[in-house]
Structure 1
Amino acid sequence: MSIQGLSGSAFGLNTHYQQHRSNLAKSVSRLASGDRFVNAGDGNAAELSISQRFRHRIRSADASTTSIQTAQAFLDTADSYSQTVTNILQRMVEIASSSTDGVINDPDRVALQDEFASLKHEITEMTRQNTFFGKQTIGREGMLSYDDNSKRMTYWQTTGAEQGQIERDFSSTALDSEQKLIGFDPTEAYTMSRDGKSVLFMGTVAGDGAGVLRAKRYDIETHTVYNGTDLFATGDTLHVDEIGQLRVNGSGTVYDVDLSSLARTATMVTDIRTGTEFTAYDGSVIYSRTADSAITTADPNVGPGTALTGALVFGVGVDHTFSGTGGFVAEESAPGSIRVIDSRTGNETTLAIGAGTSVNNIQFNADGDRIYYTNQDTNGIHYINVGTDANDNVVLTAGAKVVQGVNNSSFNGLELGGSTAGSSVKYVVAQDAPSVLSYEAIDLSLYNLRLADDRVDTQANAAIALQEVRDAQNRLSAQRAKIGAMASRFKFVLSSHRSYIANMVGVESQIRDVDLAEESTRYTSEQVQMQAAQSVLAQYNTLKGNVLRLLGA
C-alpha cells in the first residue's frame, strides 16, 4: 500500500466521521429542544416560513387573551361599584318611604333629609372617583377646552386625570379629513356630545356673511366636520341635555337641533334672553326670561314658563352658568367673585376667589355640586364646592386645582359635557386580523339617574322622591344590563380565542415539533456510525505510524 493511498483513505474516513458527528450534534439539539428547525437551514424552508406565521398568530392571540381578561376585570369592577349604588338607592327608597309617613312632621324629617343628601353625595363621589387604572367605570362627565398654544381641543375627566387631545388642528384655517373648513372659533359656544365622540360648536362656513354661524359637528374618529343648513348669529349658545339632545339659543328662541342633519326640528321656548346660557333637563328648559330676566322653567308640552326667581340680570360679557338640572345659577358678580343662586329657594351667596383674580369660563358640572373655572393668574382649572345647609342656605367652599396649564392661553373657553373621548375603553382583539371591542363607561351620576334635585324634607317632596328613586333603580338596572351584555360577549370571545389558540398550536406542532421516535432512531444510528468511523480511523492512524517507524528503521 502506498503512503498516498493510506493518507487518502484516512482523509475519507475522517470526512465520514465529521459528517456523522455533525449529524449527531443536530439530532441531540432537536431532541433537547423538541424543535425540527433548530437552525434556519434545517428541514424545509417553506415549512419553516409557515410555522413562523403560525407562531406569530398564536402570540398575537395570546396577547389578545390578556387584553380580554383585563376587560373582564374592568367590567367586574364596574359591576361591583354598580352594586354599591344599587344598595344606596335601596336605602334611599326606605328613607323616602319613611318620610312620606303622615305621622311624622317636617322637623322630624330633617334627619331623614340629612341621610338622603349624604347618600346622594356618595353616589356623586363614586361616579367621579372610582376608576380602573385611571379609566372611569360608572361616571362619564368630562371637561373640554381649546388650547391656543397647540391649536388643539383638549379634554380631561373632571378630576383632571386621563388628559387627551383631539389630533387635529382647530385653528381658524384648519381643514378636516375631507379638506373642508372646520370653521371653529373658540370665542363661540362649543361642547362635547354625550357619547364623547363629537365636538358640537357654533362655527363659520365659507361663503357665509360676517356674524353668521351654523351648528356644526366634528366627528373625532373620522376627523370630519358636518355643517347645519340653518343660520344662527354670533353669541348664540348651545346645550346638550341628559339624553344627548342638542339645543341652541338662536337669538332669543331655543330650538331642538337634530344631531345627524344639524337642522332645527322643534321650538322649545321663544322668550329667552339673547346670548344667555340655559339648560334643559327632563323635558324642561331653564333659562333667563326676556320680559323680566327671571330664571324660568318651561315645558313646551305643558304650557307657559314658571318663574323660579326674581330678576337676575347677567351683564354683557359676564360669565354665567346653570347646573345641569337648573337647580343652581352662577355668575361672576364681580372680578374674582362667584355668586350662586338656588333657583328653588332664591337663596344666594358669593365666594371671593381673590381680589383682582382673573376668573374666566365658569361652568357647573351636571350634578350641580361643583363649579369649575379657569384662573388666569395661576394658569389652571380650579373648582369650588356648591351645596346647601339644613336651613337651605347656599354654601360655597374653595376646592382645588385639577389641571395646570402652560400659560394664560392654555384654556380658551371651558365646557363640561356628558362624556369625553376617553370614556370609551377599547380592547384590541387579534386572531387572523386585529379588531377592536369598545366598552363605554356607564353613567350612574345623579344627573343621569334624574336624582340631582330630589329631597325628602316634606311629605310632598318625599312622595316625588320615592317615585323618582324607584325610576332611578330601573335606569340603573338598564345600565347594569349593558355591563352584563358586554361581559357575556367578552366571555364568548375569550372562549373562542382559547379554541383558536389550541387549534393553531396543534397545527404548528405538526409542522415544527420533533418526532421523538424517529429522531431517537436517527440519533442511535448516527452515534453507532460515528463510533465505528472513530474506531476505524484510529486503526488507520496506528497503521500509518507503523509504516513510518519501518521507514525510519
Structure 2
Amino acid sequence: MIINHNLMANNAIRNMNINSGNASKSMQKLSSGLRINNAADDAAGLAISEKMRGQIRGLDQASSNAQDGISLLQTGEGALNETQSILQRMRELAVQSSTDTNTTTDRSQIQKEVNQLAQEIGRIGNTTEFNTQKLLDGSFSGTFQIGANENQNLTVAISDMRSFALGVAGKAELTNTGTYAANAGTVGDTLGDGTYSVADGATAGSYVLKDSSGAVVAKSTDGLTYTTQAADGSAGDDTLVFTQAVTSGSVTVATDASGTTTYKGTAQFTNTGLQAGSYTYEDATKTLKDNNGTIVASSADGITFKGNVNGTSTTVFTATVALTDKDAVNVGGINVSDQSSANSAITTINNALETVSTQRANLGAYQNRLEHTIANLGTSSENLTSSESRIRDVDMAKEMSTFSKNNILAQAAQAMLAQANNQPQQVLQLLR
C-alpha cells in the first residue's frame, strides 16, 4: 500500500478529462449544428467543404449575374419594340406619300412627321441605358459571368440601332441666308414674300424656284446664285446668292415690321454618319454639337466634319464652303417628299424593320438562354449544398447519443475518482 502516488486516482482523472473533452466537443457540435467547427475536427473534410462553399457562393452569385443580364437585355429589347413601332409608322407614311393623289404640300407635311420619327429613333438609341451603360448606340459589348469559375461567361453585343445605322436618316441640311440684289432692268422680277419650292432644272445640275402655283420665278446653274424671271417668262436680272448651294427643299422670303427682308434657303449635304437630329456649329472649337452640348463631329476647316461612327473616325458630312458660327445643321428622316423617293423608302424601311427584328430575336434568344442558365445554376447550387452539408453538418441524433455516452462516462469517472481518493484512507488502519 502506497500513499505518495495514487495511481488509481490518476487513471480516473485521465479518463474523466478525456470523457469531459469528448462531451465538450459533442456539446460544441450540437450547439453549432456543425460536425466540423475547426480544422482539428476533420482537416480533409474542412478543405473539401470550403472548396464546395466557394463553388456554392460562386454559383449563387452567377445566378444573380444572369438575372441582371436578363434585366439588361429586357431593357434593350423593350426600347427596340418602340423603335419598331416607329418604323412601322414611317413605312405607312412612305406608302401614303408614294401615291400621286398627294400634292407637294401634302408630302411636305408627311416629310415633317417622318423627320420627327427619325429623330425619335435616334433619341431612343442615344438615351436607352442600363446602369448608366448605353445599349443601342453600337457601343455595348458586355461579358456576363454566368458560372462559378474562370471563363464561364457569355458575351453579348448589341448593334447600333439608331436612325443612320438603320438607313432612315436623311441628308444633312443647313439653313443659310441669301443676299438679294434688285437690279434695274426687267420689271416685275423681284421675289416677293412667300415660300418657294426648289426643283431640278431642265439640265443636269441646274435648279429652279417655283411659287405656290408651280410657276418658275428663278433659275440657277449651281444652286448658289438664282437669277429671277419675270412673270411673262422673260429673263430677269435680280439675283439671290446663297453661301451654301440650295438644291432642294424651299426658299423663304420674309419682310419684318422694320422693312428688312430676309432670304433663307436650305442647303443639303450627303450624310455619311450623322443621326437624325439638330446640331449647332461652334466656330471657336470647330465642332458640331447636339442639343445636349455633346460634340458629335469636329473639323479642321469648318467644311469637312468627322465623327465617331461604330468606333471609327469617319467623315459624317462635307459642306460646300466653311460653316459660320452658330449655323444650325439638321438631319431629318428618309426622303419621302416625292413619289420616286417615297417608293424607294418603302424598301429601305423594310430593311430597317428586318434589322431591328433580327436584333430583337437575338436579345430574346439570349434571355431564354440565361433563364435556362439560372435554372441549371440553381440545381447545381442545391446539389453542392447537399454534398457540403453531408460533410460539414452534424447528425444531431447520432451526436446526441455520443454526447450522452461521454457525459455518462465523465460522471462515472468522477465517481471512480472519489473512490480512488478514498483508497489511501485504508493506510490509517495500519497506523492504529
Q: TM-score normalised to the size of structure 1?
A: 0.46
- CA displacement at 1:532 relative to structure 2: 2.6
CA RMSD of aligned residues (A): 4.6
What SS does the aligned partner of 1:4 have? Answer: coil
- CA displacement at 1:81 relative to structure 2: 0.8
Q: Counterpart of 2:343?
A: 463
5+ residue gaps, structure 2: 143-157, 173-203, 208-220, 224-242, 251-264, 297-304, 313-330
Alpha carbons 2:289, 2:295 under 8 Å: kept: no
Give the letter aligned to residue 127 of structure 1: G
**Of 381, 384, 401, the match for 2:289:** 384
- CA displacement at 1:382 relative to structure 2: 6.1
**Residues 1:454 and 2:316 are matched in the alignment:** no
- CA displacement at 1:483 relative to structure 2: 0.9
Deviation readout 1:378-420 (Å, 9 max, x if unpaired)? xxx96424xxxxxxxxxxxx651569xxxxxxxxx97412148
Q: Counterpart of 2:229?
A: none
Alpha carbons 1:35, 1:514 under 8 Å: kept: yes
Alpha carbons 1:14, 1:537 under 8 Å: kept: yes
Give the letter aligned to residue 487 of structure 1: Q
Q: Counterpart of 2:308?
A: 416
Alpha carbons 1:106, 1:459 under 8 Å: kept: no
Q: Counterpart of 1:277?
A: none
Q: 1:419 to 1:72 in 2, by over 3 A?
A: farther
Q: How does 1:92-491 map to 2 (within 5 A)?
A: 92-140=90-138, 347=265, 365-367=273-275, 369=277, 383-385=288-290, 399-401=292-294, 415-419=307-311, 453-491=333-371
Give the letter aligned to residue 14 of structure 1: I
What SS does the aligned partner of 1:40 have? Answer: coil
Give the letter aligned to residue 275 of structure 2: D
- CA displacement at 1:535 relative to structure 2: 4.1
Larger Rg: 2
**What is the aligned-residue identity percentage?**
25
Give the letter aligned to residue 72 of structure 1: I
Q: Counterpart of 2:63?
A: 65
- CA displacement at 1:121 relative to structure 2: 0.9
Give the letter aligned to residue 386 of structure 2: G
Q: Counterpart of 2:15?
A: 16
Q: Counterpart of 2:226?
A: none
**Residues 1:74 and 2:72 are matched in the alignment:** yes
Q: 1:505 to 1:511 in 2, by over 3 A?
A: same
Alpha carbons 1:242, 1:418 under 8 Å: kept: no
Q: 2 CA distance for matches of 1:343 and 1:4?
A: 125
Alpha carbons 1:82, 1:480 under 8 Å: kept: yes
Q: Counterpart of 1:29?
A: 28
Alpha carbons 2:56, 2:385 under 8 Å: kept: yes
Alpha carbons 1:456, 1:465 under 8 Å: kept: yes
Q: 2 CA distance for matches of 1:34 and 1:469?
A: 66
Q: Counterpart of 1:4?
A: 4
What SS does the aligned partner of 1:98 have? Answer: helix
Give the letter aligned to residue 400 of structure 1: G
**Residues 1:529 and 2:409 are matched in the alignment:** yes
Q: 2 CA distance for matches of 1:113 and 1:467?
A: 17
- CA displacement at 1:343 relative to structure 2: 7.2
Give the letter aligned to residue 125 of structure 1: R
Deviation readout 1:85-117 (Å, 9 max, x if unpaired)? 122222223333333454442323444333222
- CA displacement at 1:69 relative to structure 2: 1.5
Count residues with an aligned counterpart: 305
Deviation readout 1:445-497 (Å, 9 max, x if unpaired)? xxxxxx97513334443333333223321221111121122223323333332
- CA displacement at 1:141 relative to structure 2: 5.5
Q: 1:26 to 1:141 in 2, by over 3 A?
A: closer
Q: 1:39 to 1:418 in 2, by over 3 A?
A: same
Q: 1:2 to 1:122 in 2, by over 3 A?
A: same
Q: 2 CA distance for matches of 1:499 and 1:67?
A: 16
Q: Which moved more, 1:516-525 or 1:363-372?
A: 363-372
What SS does the aligned partner of 2:350 have? Answer: helix
Deviation readout 1:302-352 (Å, 9 max, x if unpaired)? xxxx9799879xxxxxxxxxxxxxxxxxxxxxxxxxx98787559557xxx
Give the letter aligned to residue 8 of structure 2: S
Q: Counterpart of 1:55?
A: 53
Alpha carbons 2:118, 2:276 under 8 Å: kept: no
What SS does the aligned partner of 1:400 have? Answer: coil
Alpha carbons 2:20, 2:406 under 8 Å: kept: yes
- CA displacement at 1:545 relative to structure 2: 11
Q: TM-score normalised to the size of structure 2?
A: 0.57
Q: 2 CA distance for matches of 1:472 and 1:523?
A: 75
Q: Counterpart of 2:375?
A: 495
5+ residue gaps, structure 1: 143-156, 163-193, 197-240, 244-280, 287-305, 313-338, 350-362, 386-397, 404-412, 421-450
Alpha carbons 1:30, 1:514 under 8 Å: kept: yes
Q: 1:481 to 1:419 in 2, by over 3 A?
A: farther
Alpha carbons 2:122, 2:276 under 8 Å: kept: no
